[in-house]
Amino acid sequence: MFYLHEYYSILIFLVISVLLAFIIFGASYLLALSNSDSEKLSSYECGFDPYEDARNAFDVRFYLVAILFLLFDIETVFVFPWAISLSQMPSIGYWSMMDFLFELVVGFIYAWKIGSLEWS
């Protein structure tokens, strides 16, 4: 209760950000041009009608490959800053990244062995 005055700046920030969000949303709603025609209102941008129901379930392998791609793609992003600052790092930085890369390779080999990368 005694330290409530320390949070006034956060409250002011939240109020201003909410007001700004409503102002931007309202301005974009009022100022946006909406010229709709039959092509724009069609099912797809290309104008073709869908061949099947859009609610068909995807194969689980699609999701698994997508998740594995994201996982390995994001994990490899950690290698670039490490490679840039490798000369300023102590040896523990080098060996911890080697452990990280070893675990990444083991995970990739495991995913390959169980057949999660196979489409057929």
49-106 residue pLDDT tens:
656 666 677 677 778 888 888 888 888 888 888 889 988 989 999 999 899 889 989 9
Neighbours of 67 (CB within 10 A): 11
Same domain, 69 and 25: no
Same domain, 64 and 108: yes
- Structural domain range at position 82: 60-113
Asked, for residue 22, whether it belongs to a domain, the answer is yes
Residue 73, both tokens: 């793609």
What whole-number distance in Å separates Cα of residue 75 and Cα of residue 44?
A: 35
Same domain, 65 and 109: yes
Asked, for residue 19, whether it belongs to a domain, the answer is yes
What whole-number distance in Å separates Cα of residue 12 and Cα of residue 98?
A: 47
pLDDT in tens, 4-56: 788 888 999 999 999 999 999 999 989 887 777 766 666 665 555 656 666 67
User: Residues 57, 61, 62, 68: is their CA dihedral positive or negative?
Assistant: positive
pTM for the whole structure: 0.47
Asked, for residue 35, whether it belongs to a domain, the answer is no
Asked, for residue 83, whether it belongs to a domain, the answer is yes
Asked, for residue 38, whether it belongs to a domain, the answer is no
Q: What is the DSSP letter of 5?
A: G
CB-based burial of residue 58 (10 Å sphere; 0-12 exposed, 13-18 middle, 19+ buried)? exposed
How many domains, the chain? 2
